[in-house]
Amino acid sequence: MRIALLEPEIPQNTGSIARLAAATRTSLDLIGPLGFSLEDRYLKRAGLDYWPLVDLTVYENWDEYSRASHGGRLIAFSARATTPYTRHAFSGDDRLLFGKETKGLDSAALAQAGEDVFTIPIDEPGVRSLNLANAVSIVVYEARRQLGL
C-alpha cells in the first residue's frame, strides 16, 4: 500500500503523515508542486526523527507520477465523493491518493481514479472537510483493519 499526496500545502500535515507512514511501514509518494520545501523546519518537526524510516518517493508533478510505473489500483479520496471509504475492499497494493488541503483533488486525478473515488462521511453540513493528516490516518487504518494488519 502507498499513500500519495497530490500537491500538499501544509508542512505539518505532511510531517504527521510521514510519521504515520513510518509507523505503519506504508510507502509515501509526494506529488508536486509542494507548498513547502522538504527542508522546512515544521515538516521535519512534525515528522520528528522518523524521516529515515519513511519509504519516500517525490514526483515533480502529476504528469511525472502518472507516467511512472505503479502497481495496484489508484484509490482517490474526496470530500465531494458520495461513496463512503468503508465500502471499498482494500488491497495491499492500493495507492491511496489525497489532494491538497485547500482544493482537494483536481479533475485529472479524479478522472484517472475513475469509479474508485471515496469519501469519509461528515455528519455536520457546516464542516466541509477533515484535516488531511486525520483523513489519511482514518483510511490507512481502515485498510490495515481489512487486510488483517
pLDDT digits 0-9 by tens, 100-138:
999 999 999 999 999 999 999 999 999 999 999 999 999
The domain tally of the chain equals 1
Closest CA to 98 of 82, 120, 127: 120
C-alpha–C-alpha distance, residues 109 and 117, integer Å: 10
- In terms of phi and psi (left: phi > 0; alpha: psi -120 to 50; beta: otherwise), the region of 89 is beta
Q: Which domain holds residue 134?
A: 2-146
In the structure grid, which three cell numbers stand for residue 128, read together? Answer: 466541509
More confident residue, 49 or 82: 82
Model pTM above 0.75: yes
Residue 135: give its domain's CATH number.
3.40.1280.10
Mind listing the pLDDT tens digit for each residue in 1-32? Answer: 999 999 999 999 999 999 999 999 999 999 99
Question: Model confidence over 42-56: pLDDT tens digits?
Answer: 777 766 688 899 999
